[in-house]
Amino acid sequence: MGRPVKAAVQRGFGGVEVLTYEEVDDPVCGRGDVVIRVEATGLNRLDVLQRVGPPLLPGFSLPHVAGMDVAGTVVELGSDVRDGADGVELGVGSRVLVNPAIECGVCERCRAGDDGLCDGVRVVGATRPGGYAERCGVPADHVYTLPSHVGFEEASTIPTNYSTAWHALVTVGAIAPGEWLLVHGAASGVTVAAIQLAKQAGAHVVVTGRSEEKLELARRLGADAAFLSDADDLAARCRNLTGGRGVDVALDHLGPALWEQTIHALRPRGRLLFVGTTTGVRAEFDLPYAYHFGISLIGVDPYRAAEFTAMLGVYFASRFVPVVDSRFSLVDVGSAQTRMESGGAVGKILLVP
C-alpha cells in the first residue's frame, strides 16, 4: 500500500505523446476489492478513441489509465473477500481475468437484473483505472479464476471482444444453427470472437477483411467464406453463397464504411446488429429498401454481468483459438497504440509488463 507502481497515464487528448510512463500510487484495496499484478492487458479501439478525444464514455476523466482487458495475479485481498464472480475461492497468487463493466448494483436497472444499462456503470480501463499499469484494483466480484490451460496472454484477449460478440450474436441476435452470419473486419478482436462463437452455435460465417492475410486467419478460425471488403459486389457475393437469398444476420462493428452494402447483403427480414464506430458515427442508406424488405436494424447495447459468466463458461470449455498480433512493454504503449491505428494488426495487441 502506498508504494509507487508504474503506469502509462493519459494526461491530455491528442497523439500518443499524451501517454506518459510514470509512477502512480499503488491501488487502494477496498474491503471488497482485490489488487491484481497485471500480467497482460489487451488493447481496444476505445483506448485510442478516448486518447484522441472527445471521450466516449460518461464518467471519463483525466488523468486516465486505460486498459479494459486485464489478466493477472491477485496480490492483495480486501477483508471481506472470499470468492470471485465464479464462486471460486480467491487468495494471493490466484490467476484471474476481469469483467471490466462494474455495475452500481443499486439503481433500478441493476435491481431488475438489467445491469448492462446501469445508470452508474464504471468501466475498468475506460472510466476507472485499468490495465495499462503494473497493478490494478477491482471489485473481487468481477474477477474470474483462469483454468490451468488458459494463460495470461490468452486471458487478456477474452473479456471485451468475447462479451461484445456473445451479447450481439447470442442475446441480441439470437443466431440459430444453419443461419448465415456476415461479419466485417476479419482480423479484429470482435470478429475473431464472432467467428468462433457463431461456428460454435452451428451457424455459417462469411467474413470480409482488408488483406489476404486477414482473410486467411478468418478461414483458419472456421469461416466458411472470406473475401476482400473493397469488393464492390459484397451483396452479390453473399447472395451467391446463400442460394440467392442473402445472409440472415450481419454484425457490423465498423460504422458507416460498409453499412449500406451490408443491408443489401441481408435476406428479406434479415437482422443487422450494429455496434462500434471505427469508421465514423453517421451512416447513410436507402430507407425504402430497408423497410420494403423488413430489415431489422438492431443496436447492440452493453452486455450484462450474467452474460459475461455464461460466455466465459463456453469459452473455457471450447478451447477457442486466441489470436495475438503483438506484445509491447508498458513503456512502449505509444508504439502499441500506433500499431492499432495502423489497421495492420492481425488479432489482439497486448501490453505485457
Contact set with Zn ion (CB under 5 A): 103-104, 107, 110, 118, 120
Residue 269 C-beta: closest distance to Zn ion, Å: 35
Cβ-based nearer residue to Zn ion, 274 or 308: 308
Cα 164 from chain centre: 5
Residue 103 C-beta: closest distance to Zn ion, Å: 5
Nearest of 216, 191, 197, 211 to residue 318 by alpha carbon: 197
Cβ-based nearer residue to Zn ion, 75 or 107: 107
Cβ–Cβ < 8 Å for 73, 155:
no
Residue 305 C-beta: closest distance to Zn ion, Å: 10
Cβ-based nearer residue to Zn ion, 1 or 112: 112
Cβ-based nearer residue to Zn ion, 104 or 352: 104
Cβ-based nearer residue to Zn ion, 30 or 255: 30
Burial 280-301 (b: 16+ CB within 10 A, else e): eeebebeeeebeeeebeebebe
Cβ-based nearer residue to Zn ion, 103 or 179: 103
Cβ-based nearer residue to Zn ion, 34 or 110: 110
- Rounded to 10 deg, the angle between the 305-318 and 159-166 helix axes is 100
Residue 100 C-beta: closest distance to Zn ion, Å: 15
Q: CA 164 to CA 300: how far, in whole Å?
A: 8
Cβ-based nearer residue to Zn ion, 163 or 229: 163
Residue 114 C-beta: closest distance to Zn ion, Å: 9
Residue 59 C-beta: closest distance to Zn ion, Å: 13
Residue 277 C-beta: closest distance to Zn ion, Å: 24
Residue 104 C-beta: closest distance to Zn ion, Å: 3
Nearest of 151, 222, 225, 233 to residue 193 by alpha carbon: 222
Cβ-based nearer residue to Zn ion, 75 or 104: 104
Cβ-based nearer residue to Zn ion, 224 or 301: 301
Residue 108 C-beta: closest distance to Zn ion, Å: 8
Residue 21 C-beta: closest distance to Zn ion, Å: 34
